[in-house]
Amino acid sequence: MRTPALVLASLLIGGSVPGLLHGQAPDSSRDGSVLTPGDSVRIVVWRKPEFSGEFAVAADGSISHPLYQAVRVGGVPLATARAALRSFLAKFDQEPQFVIEPLFRVAIEGEVNRPSVYALSPETTIAEAVAHAGGPTQFGRLDRVRLLRGSANGGHTQVRLDLNHPETGAAQWPIRSGDQILVERGRSIFSQVILPTLTVVGALASVGIFIHQYK
């Protein structure tokens, strides 16, 4: 008969988590290059500092700034957003010279040194995103990283990734707007299984001694 401690140990060592894809690419039907509310754009206009800066994407897809509130960049392909910005700037300069850089909102959590929500370039890979958050802590497991990503039907897909080889495989997947990346904590058999078992055994032994004394 397996004791509860042994059952727990088997789950911690080899158990699987339902609903996770292991190393498989998530649903790619959603256009990952589209800005969504909460993302931001970095705009640099030549010789016009008043038009330059980093601006958030509003709920209606427009740029959250009085100068740009008529320019819609969210929910459309980046080429369309760039054309809309060019058309707007052409009102002030016949041949506007500008750069627009989309920045996706990505939450990086768990066992990383600087967990936070970051604004990252679409070219950033999953491995680079984790590095941007300071990399894993001493307890972080790069072979146990979870990616929660939105899908085309409005739901989310969870994927378990192994980032031990950042130059290949899933580590090289580009980020997407709204990604949540969780670096899991390494499981310690001693602290999570053996120590609790010893504590229980010790407690039972104490009860046995107490009962023996009062017989």
**DSSP annotation string for 173-207:** PBP-TT-EEEEEEPP-HIIIIIHHHHHHHHHHHHH
In a domain, 170, yes or no: yes
179 & 158 share domain = yes
Number of domain units in the chain = 2
In a domain, 209, yes or no: no
According to the model, what pLDDT value does residue 13 have?
31
According to the model, what pLDDT value does residue 12 have?
32
| Residue 150 tokens, joined | 């939105």
- With beta carbons less than 8 A apart as the criterion, state whether 176 and 103 touch: no
68 & 115 share domain = no
Residue 20's SS3 state is strand
112 & 182 share domain = yes
How would you label 178-187 residue by residue, b for 16+ Cβ within 10 Å and e otherwise? bbbbbbbeee
In a domain, 210, yes or no: no
Q: Is the pTM of this model over 0.85?
A: no
179 & 109 share domain = yes
Pairing between β-strand 53-56 and β-strand 156-161 as defined by DSSP bridges = unpaired
In a domain, 2, yes or no: no
71 & 110 share domain = no
Does residue 202 have a pLDDT over 60? no
| Residue 100 tokens, joined | 């627009």
Smallest CA-to-CA distance from 35 within 121, 98, 129, 128 is with: 121
According to the model, what pLDDT value does residue 121 have?
96
According to the model, what pLDDT value does residue 198 have?
55
Give the range among 47-51, 78-82, 154-158, 201-205 with minimum mean pLDDT: 201-205
Q: How far apart are CA 129 and CA 86, in angstroms?
A: 30
78 & 166 share domain = no
63 & 123 share domain = no
In a domain, 3, yes or no: no
> Which is higher by pLDDT, 170 or 31?
170
**Can you tell me which residue has the tokens 């959603």?**
30
According to the model, what pLDDT value does residue 133 have?
98
CA 214 to the chain's CA centroid: 59
- With beta carbons less than 8 A apart as the criterion, state whether 169 and 23 touch: yes
In a domain, 48, yes or no: yes
Q: How far apart are CA 184 and CA 198, in angstroms?
A: 26
In a domain, 154, yes or no: yes
Instruction: Compute the average pLDDT of residues 80-91.
Output: 96
> CATH code at 114?
3.10.560.10
According to the model, what pLDDT value does residue 106 have?
98
**pLDDT, tens digit (0-9, with 9 covering 90-100), for 24-80:** 666 544 556 799 999 999 999 999 999 999 999 999 999 999 999 999 999 999 999
Supply the range of the domain harboring residue 120: 19-30+104-187
